[in-house]
C-alpha cells in the first residue's frame, strides 16, 4: 500500500529529475541536436540512480504502477472538450491520414506478434505474449505498456512490464535518431517540402525554452476563480472519469475474475459518455481543450519517467537476445511502412506526413510532432490537423486492440490475432487502391528514392 508520504517523495524526486532534464536540454548542444526530451533524461537518471540502479534515490515500490493510472488520464482526456466534427465535410481531407494511422496500428501490433510466433518463438522458448512487447512499446509507448501489464500479470506473465518499458524506451531513441537520419538523407536530395536545416531552427526548438517574444497563450479561463481555480476544475473532470472507470473495473473483476479489462479502455468509454453529458447540459463551452491537453501532456511526461525508472534490468538481461531480434525487426518494419506505404498514401506533403508517422510508430505522438517541427517549422502542412481528426475515428480500434490482445494471445488465439490484424491491413490497402485514394506510377517511385 502506497502512503501519501511515498507518493510525495516519488513526485518530488521526479520533479528534480525533470528539472535536471530541462536544464541539460537547455545547455548542452548534444542533447539539443538529438531533441532528447526532458522526460527521457529524467527516466534514465531515475533508472541509474533509483532502486534498479545505484539505489541512491529512495523511490517507493509503486513507481511501476503509476503509469497504469496516468495512461487512464491520457485516454480519458481524449474525448473531453473535443470539437464537434462534421465527418461528411472533413472525411475527404482526413481520409488518407486516417488510413495511414489505421495501417500503422494494425501492422505494428500484428507484425510484432507475427515475428514472435512464426520465428522468434521457434528459436527461443518465449511466452506467447512476447510479440506484444513491440506493438505496445513502439506504437503505444510507456502508458500502453502499463495498460497491457495489468492484463499480462492477470494471465501470469509479470515480466512483461519490464520488457515493455524497455521496448518503449528503445522506441523513443529509434524515433529520434532514426528520424534525424531520415530527414538529413531526404533533405540532401531536396525531397522535402519545407525543410529547415537544424542550424536554421529557432532557439526555442533546440533548447526547449521559449523566448518571451515567441510565447503564446496556453489556455482560456472558463470558470471564475471566485468559485474554483480553472486548473483544478479541469483536473476534477478527468478525475471523475478515472475514478468511475476504476470502480467499474473493480466491479467487473469481481464478477468476471477470468477477464481483465485495462483501465484505459474504460476511461476512454467513460470519457465519451461524460462528453455526451456535457453537451446535453450545454456545459461543453466551459471545457478548455488546451488545458485538457496540458493535463494529458503532464501525464505523458510522468508516464515516461516512471516507466523508464522502474525497468528491472535483470529481467531485460534474461531476454536480451530475442529482445534485440524483436527490436531490429520492429525498426525495419516501421521503416518499411514509411518507405513503401507513406509515399503511396499521401498526395500532398507525403514526407512530412510520413516522418510524423515514423516518430509515432516507433516512439510517441510527441516524437512525431518533434520531427514534424524540424521539416515543417512554420506548420504549413495540415498534418497535425488531419491527425487530430483522423485519430478520433481510429482510437476505438486502438482501444479494442489494447483491451483484447492479451486475452486472445494468452489463451491460444495468436494465429487468429495475426490473421485478423494483418488481413485488415491488406483489406484497407485493397479498398484504398480500388477507390482511387492512393498515389500511382512514377511519382511513387520518385518519392521512394528520397528515403
In this structure, is residue 57 part of a structural domain? yes
Identify whether 171 is part of a domain.
yes
Report the pLDDT value the prediction gives residue 157, as an integer from 0 to 100.
92
Instruction: Give the residue with greater pLDDT, 120 vs 32.
Output: 120
What is the mean predicted confidence (pLDDT) over 104-118? 95
* 200 has pLDDT over 70: no
How far is the CA of 323 from the CAs of 4, 37, 52, 289, 304, in angstroms?
37, 24, 19, 39, 20
Report how far residue 80's alpha carbon sits from residue 234's, in angstroms, rounded to the nearest whole number. Answer: 10
Has residue 214 been placed in a domain? no
Integer CA distances (angstroms), 327 to 25, 36, 43, 138, 429, in order: 27, 20, 20, 9, 25
- Is 140 within the bounds of a domain? yes
Q: Provide the number of structural domains found in the chain.
A: 1
In contact, 437 and 95? CB cutoff 8 Å: yes
Question: Taking 70 as the threshold, does the pLDDT of residue 85 lie above it?
Answer: no
Polymer length of the chain: 451
Of 28-32, 47-51, 91-95, the poorest mean pLDDT is in 91-95
216, part of any domain = no
> Which residue in the block uniquely carries the three cell numbers 507484425?
111
Please tell me the predicted confidence (pLDDT) of residue 92. 63
Number of CB atoms found within 10 A of residue 219's CB: 15
Domain that holds residue 112: 4-207+227-450
Can you give the pLDDT at residue 358?
92
Q: Give the integer Cα–Cα distance in Å for 76 and 147.
A: 13
pLDDT band of residue 1 (cuts 50, 70, 90) is low
Q: Is residue 281 part of a domain?
A: yes
Q: How much is the CA Rg of the chain, to the nearest whole Å?
A: 21
Cα–Cα distance for residue pair 94/259, rounded to 1 Å: 36
Residue 218 lies in a domain: no
- 213 domain residue, yes or no: no
- Of the pLDDT bands very low, low, confident and very high (cuts 50, 70, 90), residue 129 is very high
Mean pLDDT of 373-382: 72
Amino acid at each position: 500500500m502506497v502512503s501519501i508520504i511515498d507518493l510525495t517523495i516519488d513526485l518530488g524526486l521526479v520533479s528534480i529529475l525533470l528539472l535536471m532534464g530541462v536544464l541539460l536540454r537547455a545547455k548542452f548542444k548534444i542533447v539539443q541536436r538529438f531533441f532528447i526530451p526532458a522526460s527521457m533524461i529524467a527516466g534514465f537518471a531515475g533508472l541509474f540512480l533509483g532502486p534498479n540502479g545505484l539505489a541512491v534515490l529512495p523511490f517507493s515500490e509503486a513507481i511501476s504502477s503509476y503509469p497504469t493510472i496516468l495512461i487512464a488520464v491520457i485516454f480519458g482526456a481524449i474525448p473531453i472538450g473535443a470539437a464537434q466534427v462534421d465527418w461528411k465535410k472533413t472525411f475527404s481531407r482526413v481520409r488518407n491520414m486516417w488510413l495511414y494511422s489505421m495501417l500503422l496500428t494494425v501492422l505494428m501490433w500484428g507484425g510484432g506478434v507475427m515475428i514472435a510466433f512464426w520465428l522468434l518463438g521457434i528459436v527461443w522458448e518465449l511466452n506467447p505474449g512476447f510479440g506484444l512487447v513491440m506493438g505496445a512499446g513502439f506504437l503505444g509507448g510507456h502508458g500502453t505498456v502499463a495498460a497491457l501489464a495489468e492484463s499480462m500479470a492477470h494471465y501470469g506473465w509479470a515480466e512483461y512490464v519490464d520488457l515493455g518499458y524497455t521496448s518503449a524506451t528503445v522506441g523513443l531513441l529509434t524515433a529520434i535518431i532514426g528520424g534525424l537520419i531520415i530527414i538529413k538523407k531526404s533533405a540532401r536530395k531536396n525531397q522535402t517540402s519545407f525543410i529547415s536545416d537544424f542550424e536554421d531552427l529557432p532557439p526555442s526548438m533546440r533548447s526547449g525554452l521559449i523566448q518571451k517574444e515567441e510565447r503564446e497563450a496556453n489556455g482560456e479561463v472558463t470558470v471564475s476563480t471566485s468559485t474554483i481555480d480553472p486548473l483544478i476544475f479541469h483536473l476534477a473532470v478527468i478525475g471523475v472519469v478515472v475514478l468511475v472507470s476504476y470502480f467499474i473495473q473493480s466491479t467487473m473483476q469481481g464478477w468476471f475474475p477470468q477477464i481483465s479489462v485495462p483501465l484505459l479502455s474504460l476511461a476512454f468509454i467513460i470519457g465519451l459518455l461524460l462528453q455526451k453529458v456535457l453537451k446535453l447540459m450545454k456545459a461543453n463551452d466551459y471545457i478548455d481543450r488546451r488545458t485538457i491537453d496540458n493535463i494529458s501532456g503532464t501525464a505523458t511526461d510522468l508516464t515516461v519517467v516512471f516507466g523508464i525508472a522502474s525497468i528491472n534490468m535483470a529481467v531485460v538481461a534474461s531476454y536480451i537476445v530475442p529482445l534485440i531480434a524483436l527490436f531490429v525487426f520492429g525498426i525495419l518494419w516501421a521503416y518499411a511502412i514509411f518507405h513503401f506505404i507513406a509515399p503511396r498514401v499521401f498526395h500532398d506533403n507525403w514526407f512530412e506526413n510520413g516522418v510524423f508517422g515514423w516518430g509515432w510508430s516507433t516512439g510517441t505522438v510527441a516524437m512525431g510532432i518533434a520531427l514534424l517541427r524540424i521539416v515543417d517549422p512554420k506548420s504549413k502542412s495540415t498534418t497535425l490537423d488531419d491527425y487530430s481528426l483522423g485519430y478520433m475515428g481510429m482510437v476505438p480500434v486502438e482501444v479494442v486492440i489494447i483491451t483484447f490482445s492479451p486475452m486472445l494471445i494468452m489463451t491460444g488465439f495468436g494465429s487468429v490475432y495475426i490473421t485478423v490484424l494483418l488481413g485488415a491491413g491488406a483489406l484497407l490497402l485493397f479498398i484504398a487502391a480500388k477507390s482511387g485514394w492512393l498515389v500511382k506510377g512514377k511519382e511513387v517511385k520518385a518519392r521512394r528514392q528520397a528515403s
